[in-house]
Amino acid sequence: MKALGRHVIVELYRCSTAKLDDLECLEQSMILAAQKAGATVINSNFHRFQPWGISGVVVIQESHFAIHTWPEYRFASLDIFTCGDTIDPWLGYHLIKEALQAEYVSAKEVERGVFAELEQVGQRLHEQALVTASVAPRVQQQFDQNMWFTESHEDFAFSLRHSGALLYKKNSPYQEIKVYETAGFGNMLVLDDLIMCTEKDEYIYHEMITHVPLLTHTKAQRVLIVGGGDGGTARELLKHEHVEAVVLVEIDPDVVAAAKQYLPRISSSFNHPKLTVKIADGIQYIHESPAAAFDVIIVDSSDPVGPAEGLFNEAFYQQVYRCLRPGGILVAQNESPLYHSQVFKQSLETHQRIFGSEHVHCYLASIPTYPSGLWSFSYAAKGVHPLKDFDRDRARLFTQEHYLMYYNEDIHTAAFCLPSFVKRMLGLG
Where do contacts with ligand SPD occur on this chain (CB under 6 A)?
194-197, 205, 228, 230, 232-233, 300, 302-303, 333, 370
Distance (Å, whole) CA 66 – CA 235: 25
State in angstroms the smallest separation of the CB of 26 from ligand SPD: 32
Gap between the Cα atoms of 341 and 399, Å rounded: 32
Q: How many degrees, rounded to 5, is the angle at CA 363 between CA 224 and CA 238?
A: 30
- Between residues 99 and 196, which has the closer beta carbon with respect to ligand SPD? 196
- Considering the complex, what minimum distance in angstroms separates the CB of residue 210 from ligand SPD? 10
Q: Which of 62, 300 has the CB closer to ligand SPD?
A: 300
Q: What is the closest distance, in whole angstroms, from the C-beta atom of residue 189 to ligand SPD in the complex? A: 8
Q: 115 Cβ partners below 8 Å, 6+ apart?
A: 1, 2, 3, 4, 126, 129, 130, 133
Helix (H) or strand (E) holding 399: helix 392-402
**CB 305 to ligand SPD: min, Å:** 10
Distance CA 253, CA 1 (A): 35
Closest to ligand SPD by CB, 33 or 298: 298
Verify whether residue 303 is a known catalytic residue.
no
User: Helices 341-355 & 314-323, crossing angle to 10 degrees?
Assistant: 40
Pick the closer one to ligand SPD by CB: 197 or 422.
Answer: 197
Helix, strand, coil % over all residues of the chain, rounded to 5 = 35, 35, 30
Asked if 369 contacts 358 with a C-beta cutoff of 8 angstroms, the reply is: no
Cβ 263 vs Cβ 196: under 8 Å: no
Nearer to ligand SPD, 197 or 384 (CB): 197
Contacts with 353 (C-beta within 8 Å, 6 or more apart), sequence order:
314
**Closest CB to ligand SPD among 191 and 354?**
191
Q: Kindly state the smallest distance separating residue 304's Cβ from ligand SPD, in Å.
A: 10
Q: How far is the CB of 339 from ligand SPD (least distance, A)?
A: 9
Peptide bond into 173 cis (omega under 30): no
Helix pair 23-36, 89-99: axis angle to 10 deg: 150
Q: What residues contact residue 227 under an 8 Å CB cut-off, 6+ apart? A: 249, 250, 251, 282, 299, 300, 301, 302, 308, 311
What whole-number distance in Å separates Cα of residue 220 and Cα of residue 137? 47
Closest approach of Cβ 156 to ligand SPD, in Å?
A: 13
Residue whose CB is less far from ligand SPD, 333 or 350: 333
SS3 120: helix
Instruction: Round to whole Å and give the CA distance between 338 and 153.
Output: 13
**CA-to-CA distance for 74 and 315, rounded, in angstroms?**
54
Our CB check for ligand SPD shows the closer of 81 and 203 to be: 203
Cβ burial of 142 (10 Å; 0-12, 13-18, 19+) is middle
Output the DSSP codes for 55-93.
EEEEEETTEEEEEEEEGGGTEEEEEEEEESSS--HHHHH
- Least CB distance to ligand SPD at residue 331 (A): 12
Catalytic residue, candidates 281, 300, 303, 393: 300
What residues act catalytically?
A: 300
